């Protein structure tokens, strides 16, 4: 046995006498420590065996991970980190691969858009530093996840890319003008002195621009090379540097040709693609946060002494007492410790009727306090709340690996070594066998490096997913699963739930025209003072009614006001004195009670969404089968089905029966999309081929669904199906374009028929074609 040169763990001795390392992470760390001149660390370890292992950033303050580590029920530790220095998909693969090889690691998933790394491992919580050290050794920096810091870094990177793009664009335009002059001079007898002068002017413009504009690529390439790896930026950097160096040599020796224009135009086109990709990812991330943040605002915290302070939501800690005024959105998850009120929980439960809460009841962030002030003991804040979970759904969408993404990863993994091998083969072939000079052979090798840059292949899938996610997010549609769009493109059947899905989930007063106008006006005069959904329904039915003075609301009971004849009440059956069984037609109801007269019942029902019939008709025209599955009574189900145009309807279904119906359709060869929102729909949503749920659905249903949509319309169902079909087509097109480009240009480059300038234009054009092709998905 031997000891690992970095961490000193025992490892099998190398029979060849080479250096011993327990893992690639330690090997990379050892190399970086040597390059940084920190060899004193190993000397210190030998003198003091108790010294802790060194991380590459030992001389700086160590990151404090302890407060950010969470322990799950099965003993797995979870840490959310932000990765600085992330450049491309190859970086994602490299970091995930290194971490997964570390002892005890259960999962390591890195989201390229948000740059959030979710690391899970078994063992001691203190092991976080050893695990993160293996990534730090690769040249990246891991810090506890902080959205504000992420936004700041994204803005900084965008500014850097934009400045580099401006410099490269300025140089490319001017150098190209000089190159045109040189090309024209060849046919018009331009003298060598004039040609050399134009070449030197080109060099004075191009070389500083190449040095500055290429920094994003050079930095990334140098980082991975130090760690003994390669990524896409390595062949890019080699091509640019070799082209510039060879052009400078040709200029200094009075040669006929210089290719400064090729180098700067290559950088210019690459920077355009990288900047557009960064902007698209930033908009997708911001779209998720803005769509689902639900208006986070300052929180009123009640201090132990009774004084109240306004704090930002990020400053509120578990255990603090938070005051929530009537009409205010609750910003934390917690337990009610003071007050009683009605809370609109439609966001998490889909219930149209508010829930009455009092001391000891649990409330959630994102719900709305309707009637009276509440004091809540904070149980969860920030990312631990329901809102934090919703934002993470967006990240889960990108972290899910579709089969196309997996294919792109596998191809990209071996692409860089293959590119370098082709370039070396081209150089040696032309120099040793073809009889070309070293300049010409090097020129051909550079052309091979440029044309084989895998930008188009790397962008084939991610750019489509980003554009598709951005388009759907702008319309209030959140894709949770990475494979959802692929599955949606293949469905041939749609099954709907009724309540809250085909219907609005908002109660409306039934038979308003048959109710005595005096009773309706009196009820509306009380209802106008409340924000309760049933009271609002009465107000909508009598819009001209004046609100009575002195209306008082009793949570869980109803409204009351003193009038000339005595107290008038509008509320629950028991509170208004109505006998059980009298006028009991089922469904939501309110009762009006006044002195000397019997109680009057107001019944409510859910109406179909305004566009439900149009959406169902559109799905039918697409050739999709349609089914309505509901747990409601057959008569109610039939009425809604007739209203929207669904012939195949099934009522009085238990959750297991809905699943059996979906299984029957699957056995018949159908791929079924299930659209539902209720708690009883969760098993069916999970069992379906693919599933959608409105944002008003129960929490468990949102968890089971692949896609969540917001708003009162049903049109997102057809929109997501349309986008899925177009995304499938565009992914196929992008792969075809990428492979077609390489199939044509690589043989031409190795045959010496492509100059570096033509190679730069062709490579950049292929990337732009892929991006522009994907951007077509962003149009309606």
Residues 749, 451: contact at Cβ < 8 Å? yes
Residues 777, 464: contact at Cβ < 8 Å? yes
Separation in Å, CA 283 to CA 113, 295, 394: 10, 18, 12
For residue 703, give the 3-state DSSP assignment.
Answer: helix
Strand-pairing partners, residue 368, are 329, 344
Classify residue 294 as left (phi > 0), alpha (psi -120 to 50) or beta: left
Give the span between the Cα atoms of 333 and 378, in whole angstroms: 6
Residues whose CB is less than 8 angstroms from the CB of residue 597 and which lie 6 or more positions away in sequence, other chains included:
none
Closest CA to 234 of 248, 217, 247: 217
- Tokens, residue 516: 């005595």
Separation in Å, CA 294 to CA 51, 567, 740: 49, 39, 46
Give the span between the Cα atoms of 533 and 546, in whole angstroms: 18
Give the span between the Cα atoms of 677 and 495, in whole angstroms: 12
Query: Alpha helices of 187-320 — where are they, by DSSP H?
Result: 192-213, 215-226, 233-252, 260-292
Count of positions (residues) in the chain: 780
Residues 557, 550: contact at Cβ < 8 Å? no
Residue located via tokens 């934002």: 391
Give the span between the Cα atoms of 395 and 481, in whole angstroms: 10
Give the span between the Cα atoms of 646 and 641, in whole angstroms: 5
- Tokens, residue 776: 């077509």
Catalytically active residues are 497
Tell me which DSSP letter residue 329 carries.
Answer: B
E-assigned strand segments in 611-754: 625-629, 649-650, 672-675, 690-694, 707-709
Separation in Å, CA 53 to CA 29, 42, 141: 11, 9, 17
Residues whose CB is less than 8 angstroms from the CB of residue 743 and which lie 6 or more positions away in sequence, other chains included:
none
Tell me which DSSP letter residue 123 carries.
Answer: S
Distance, CA of 528 to chain centre:
42
């Amino acid at each position: 046995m031997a000891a690992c040169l970095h961490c000193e763990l025992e490892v099998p001795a190398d029979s060849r006498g080479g250096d011993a390392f327990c893992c690639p992470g330690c090997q990379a760390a050892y190399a970086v420590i040597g390059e940084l001149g920190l060899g004193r660390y190993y000397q210190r370890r030998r003198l003091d065996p108790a010294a802790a292992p060194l991380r590459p950033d030992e001389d700086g303050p160590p990151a404090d991970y302890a407060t950010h580590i969470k322990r799950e029920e099965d003993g797995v530790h979870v840490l959310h980190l932000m990765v600085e220095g992330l450049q491309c998909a190859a970086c994602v693969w490299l970091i995930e691969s290194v971490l997964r090889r570390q002892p005890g690691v259960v999962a390591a998933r890195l989201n390229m858009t948000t740059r959030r790394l979710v690391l899970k491992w078994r063992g001691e919580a203190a092991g976080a530093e050893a695990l993160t050290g293996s990534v730090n050794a690769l040249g990246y920096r891991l810090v506890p996840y902080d959205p504000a810091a992420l936004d700041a870094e994204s803005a900084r990177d965008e500014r850097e890319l934009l400045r580099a793009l401006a410099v490269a664009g300025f140089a490319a335009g001017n150098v190209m003008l000089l190159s045109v002059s040189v090309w024209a001079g060849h046919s018009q007898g331009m003298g060598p002195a004039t040609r050399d002068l134009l070449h030197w002017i080109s060099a004075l413009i191009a070389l500083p621009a190449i040095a500055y504009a290429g920094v994003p690529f050079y930095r990334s390439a140098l980082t991975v090379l130090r760690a003994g790896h390669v990524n896409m930026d390595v062949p890019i950097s080699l091509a640019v540097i070799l082209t510039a160096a060879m052009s400078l040599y040709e200029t200094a020796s009075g040669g006929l040709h210089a290719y400064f224009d090729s180098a700067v135009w290559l950088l210019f086109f690459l920077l355009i693609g990288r900047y557009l990709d960064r902007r698209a990812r930033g908009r997708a991330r911001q779209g998720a946060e803005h769509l689902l943040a639900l208006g986070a605002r300052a929180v009123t915290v009640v201090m132990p002494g009774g004084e109240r302070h306004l704090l930002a939501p990020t400053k509120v800690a578990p255990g603090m007492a938070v005051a929530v005024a009537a009409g205010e959105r609750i910003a934390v998850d917690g337990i009610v410790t003071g007050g009683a009120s009605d809370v609109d929980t439609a966001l998490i439960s889909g219930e149209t009727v508010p829930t009455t809460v009092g001391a000891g009841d649990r409330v959630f962030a994102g719900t709305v306090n309707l009637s009276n002030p509440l004091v809540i003991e904070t149980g969860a804040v920030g990312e631990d709340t329901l809102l934090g979970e919703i934002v993470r759904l967006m990240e889960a969408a990108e972290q899910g690996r579709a089969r196309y993404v997996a294919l792109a990863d596998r191809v990209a993994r071996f692409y860089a070594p293959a590119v370098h091998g082709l370039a070396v083969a081209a150089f040696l072939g032309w120099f040793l066998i073809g009889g070309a000079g070293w300049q010409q052979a090097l020129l051909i090798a550079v052309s091979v490096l440029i044309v084989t840059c895998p930008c188009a292949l790397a962008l084939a899938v991610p750019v489509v997913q980003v554009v598709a996610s951005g388009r759907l997010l702008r319309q209030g549609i959140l894709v949770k699963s990475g494979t959802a769009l692929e599955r949606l493109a293949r469905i041939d059947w749609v099954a709907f739930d009724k309540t809250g899905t085909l219907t609005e989930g908002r109660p409306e007063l039934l038979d308003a025209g048959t109710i005595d106008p005096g009773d309706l006006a009196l009820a509306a005069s009380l209802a106008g003072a409340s924000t309760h959904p049933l009271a609002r329904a009465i107000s909508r039915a009598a819009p001209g009614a004046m609100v009575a003075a002195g209306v008082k609301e009793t949570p869980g009971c109803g409204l009351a006001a003193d009038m000339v004849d005595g107290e008038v009440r509008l509320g629950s059956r028991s509170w208004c004195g109505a006998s059980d069984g009298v006028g009991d037609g089922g469904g939501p109801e309110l009762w009006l009670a006044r002195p000397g007269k019997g109680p009057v019942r107001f019944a409510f029902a859910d109406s179909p969404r305004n566009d439900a019939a149009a959406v169902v008709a559109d799905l039918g025209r697409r050739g999709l089968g349609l089914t309505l599955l509901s747990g409601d009574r057959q008569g109610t189900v039939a009425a809604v089905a007739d209203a929207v145009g669904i012939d195949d309807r099934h009522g009085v279904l238990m959750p297991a029966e809905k699943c059996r119906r979906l299984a029957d359709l699957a056995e018949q060869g159908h791929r079924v999309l299930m659209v539902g929102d209720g708690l009883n729909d969760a098993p069916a949503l999970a069992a379906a081929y693919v599933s959608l749920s409105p944002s008003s659905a129960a929490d468990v249903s949102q968890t089971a669904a692949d896609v969540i949509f917001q708003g009162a319309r049903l049109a997102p169902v057809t929109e997501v199906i349309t986008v899925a079909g177009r995304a499938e087509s565009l992914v196929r097109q992008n792969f075809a374009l990428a492979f077609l480009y390489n199939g044509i240009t690589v043989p031409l480059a190795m045959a010496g028929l492509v100059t570096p300038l033509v190679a730069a234009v062709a490579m950049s054009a292929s990337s732009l074609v892929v991006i522009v092709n994907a951007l077509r998905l962003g149009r309606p």
